[in-house]
Amino acid sequence: MKLAMIGFGQAGGKIVDKFIEYDQRTGSQAVRSAVAVNTAKADLVGLDYVPEENQVLIGQSRVKGHGVGADNELGAEIAEEDIDEVQGAVDNVPIHDIDAFLIVAGMGGGTGSGGAPVLAKYLKRIYTEPVYGLGILPGRDEGGIYTLNAARSFQTFVREVDNLLVFDNDAWRESGESVGSGYDRINEEIVRRFGILFGAGEVSRGDEVGESVVDSSEIINTLDTGGVSTVGYAAEEVDNPSGGLLSRFKSDGTEDVDSTHATNRITSLVRKAALGRLTLPCEIDSAERSLLVASGPPEYLNRKGVEKGRKWLENQTGSMEVRGGDYPTGDAEQVAGVVLLSGVSQVPRVEELQDVAVETQDNIDEIRSESQQNTTDLIEDDDGELDPLF
Ligand SMILES: Nc1nc2c(ncn2[C@@H]2O[C@H](COP(=O)(O)OP(=O)(O)OP(=O)(O)O)[C@@H](O)[C@H]2O)c(=O)[nH]1
């Protein structure tokens, strides 16, 4: 699937940068164009792969290149005001050559949280290609204001995009990890999952062709539910099979993959992907549509495995709209299963996020009015005998 990726804010820019690196490393050709938008100059300078002419610094007259300090209302205002500057970079995107836009943003901060929904609304008005979002939820330990930002951005972003793919930082943090190295690891996890998903269907000439290759239209149809999506992933090294005979030697001495084993491996990877840790944990039977992708060296992929995986997913989700196929990757050393669950509705994490956000908002309002009163009490003398100078 050919994408124009736009990273909004620091997290968005870093993740898009990582997608480009993944594309170059794996030969996947999903990222046709990449743009990074930010209110903080330093965040743009830190990018290694997004071309400089596609890096856009907005809000210079308001925040002088220093970011919006987690004020997402200001982030949204600046995005509205400077949308023409963003359009200038989007003008470099070869629109005829892309299947969709993907806007990536951390939802807990200010720039991406406020700006990404504004950009989604704008792109949908101008272009006919679908506009998807990849929204990153903050960790629970980041505090109330980040949760409030994320909850408000989530509501708006879902409404403005054709589908919001969600990654929850909280489900992926590990104790004892520094913030920096934590994000590096988490960003790898993000890119691996979505890289396989979006890389599927981009088999170029000369690549190995699988038995039932996923086409980008199948990804688009799956995401056509709108709403919120989550992704599961599981992988296994092919040269170190867990149990059973992976391959047998043919009479000419070359190896031949045991097809029963390959089938079982794919179905078991699909199960592990769907029942393991999702990018946004949810009840999988609340998904409206789903898609599974089996990726790996073509000799380890087969139609039967994908079919069995699809049947299993139909049972688990209670939905007949389960698409599936393979994504052959010539030199990979792993077979992987990726499951996209689209239009999910039972997501306890989002409900919890909203509850904490409402609590935070009430608390902020209460403290603000209390402290206004306290400041007045402090400044004025008890009996109002003193007059200010002017
Ligand atoms: N997965 C991941 N999440 C990140 C990363 N950096 C920040 N985040 C998350 O994204 C949220 C928003 O942070 P930023 O992207 O830094 O904020 P911003 O959009 O640049 O906005 P301001 O800094 O307020 O101007 C944070 O609360 C974190 O949850 C990253 O590299 N990877």
Q: Would you list the domain boundaries of the chain?
A: 3-200, 216-342
Do 3-200 and 216-342 agree at the fold level?
Answer: no
Q: Which segments of the chain have a pLDDT < 50? A: 205, 240-246, 249
pTM of the model: 0.93
Cβ within 8 Å of residue 135, ≥6 positions away: 105, 107, 116, 153, 154, 157, 164, 165, 166, 167
Q: Which CATH superfamily is domain 216-342 in?
A: Tubulin/FtsZ, C-terminal domain (3.30.1330.20)
Model ipTM over 0.90: yes
47, two tokens: 């990018």
Cα 106 to averaged position of ligand 1 atoms, centre (Å): 5
Closest by alpha carbon to 46, among 18, 22, 6, 14?
14
Which residue numbers belong to the known binding site for GTP? 10-14, 110-112, 142, 169, 187
Closest by alpha carbon to 62, among 83, 86, 40?
40
pLDDT in tens, 134-169: 999 999 999 999 999 999 999 999 999 999 999 999
Residue 146 Cβ inside 6 Å of ligand 1? The answer reads yes
* Cα–Cα distance, 172 to 185 (Å, whole number): 9
Cβ proximity of 12 and 104 under 8 Å = yes
* Cα–Cα distance, 189 to 105 (Å, whole number): 16
Cα 187 to averaged position of ligand 1 atoms, centre (Å): 12
* Cα–Cα distance, 106 to 357 (Å, whole number): 16
pLDDT in tens, 65-76: 999 999 999 999
Q: How many residues make up the chain in this entry?
A: 390
* Phi and psi torsions of 124, nearest 5°: -65, -30
* Cα–Cα distance, 300 to 210 (Å, whole number): 10
**CATH code for residues 3-200:** 3.40.50.1440
